Amino acid sequence: MSHYYFIIVIFYLLAGLSIVAFTRARTQVFQATKNQKYESGEPVSFYKILLLNAILFTVGVLFWPLFLSSWFGKKRTMLDDAQETSGKLVVKGYRRIAAQLGCAPTAKTTDQKIMEIYSTVSTAFNQAAERRGEHIPALYLNTIVLKFLKVYELFYGSPFPQRFQEHLQYEVNKYLAEGLRPDYKQELPLFDPDDFNDPDVKQLRELQRLVREKLEREFLPKENKPPVLSNDKNRIR
């Protein structure tokens, strides 16, 4: 019986070694070392890096079943978080405006449908603007989307996709031929970007800051990075 246990353990370790050494899991395992170098701001010795890599590699081989989902599943990014937070602000904005003006979107329109219409209409008009060599301000797009949210509830209960798409195509063609309608040229802010009492605004600003810092860290040439003081305040590295 012990002989079988020994074989099982050997195969288990070989499976872990193969996964960690020869798949993208290796990048995930050693990412922690890179993060440590960036976050500390201090030089990390070769031996510390070697020791940390050895520990991470060993943990990965021994406990690989626990990490499979994080290694091979779709990794959530800051962009995903930013899009989710932006979506919440968009929905809350249209709900607030609807309550103030007594218009759509009402309870007939789900939050998911609001975002679907927002994405469909914005994409269609932005593509048309590119064909005209123009740029439609985001605050104008908010107004256009609001009008199409009203159209959605006007056609509610009818063959919606066909009627809605026909109306959208008509408006896009009209824009391509004549330019943006005057009633579309109205600014409609959905939220105040400086309203830090709104937790979603605070989260969005924080995510934007993190993304900006990450881009600067990854793409700013080393020779352009500001000097960093070491522990010896008289020496700059």
- Reading the block at residue 160, the tokens are 């919606």
Cis peptide before 105 (omega within 30 of 0): yes
Contact (Cβ atoms closer than 8 angstroms) between residue 109 and residue 153: yes
Using CA atoms, how far apart are residues 120 and 128, in angstroms rounded to an integer?
12
pLDDT of 45 higher than 90: no
**Residue pLDDT, tens place only, 97-132:** 999 999 999 998 999 999 999 999 999 999 999 999
- CA triple 118-123-128, angle to 5 deg: 135
Q: Where are the domains of the chain?
A: 2-75, 78-184
pLDDT at site 70: 65
**Residue pLDDT, tens place only, 133-159:** 999 999 999 999 999 999 998 877 555
Residues 6+ apart with CB under 8 A from 114: 90, 91, 94, 105, 149
Contact (Cβ atoms closer than 8 angstroms) between residue 204 and residue 85: yes
Alpha-carbon distances of 119 from 22, 63, 126, rounded to whole Å: 40, 42, 10
pLDDT at site 154: 85
What is the average pLDDT across 220-237? Answer: 47
Average pLDDT score, the chain = 79
Percent of residues in the chain assigned helix, strand, coil, to nearest 5: 75, 0, 25
Better-scored residue on pLDDT, 202 or 137: 137
Task: Characterize 144-153 residue by residue with b for buried, 16 or more Cβ atoms within 10 angstroms of its Cβ, and e for exposed.
Answer: bbbbbbebbe
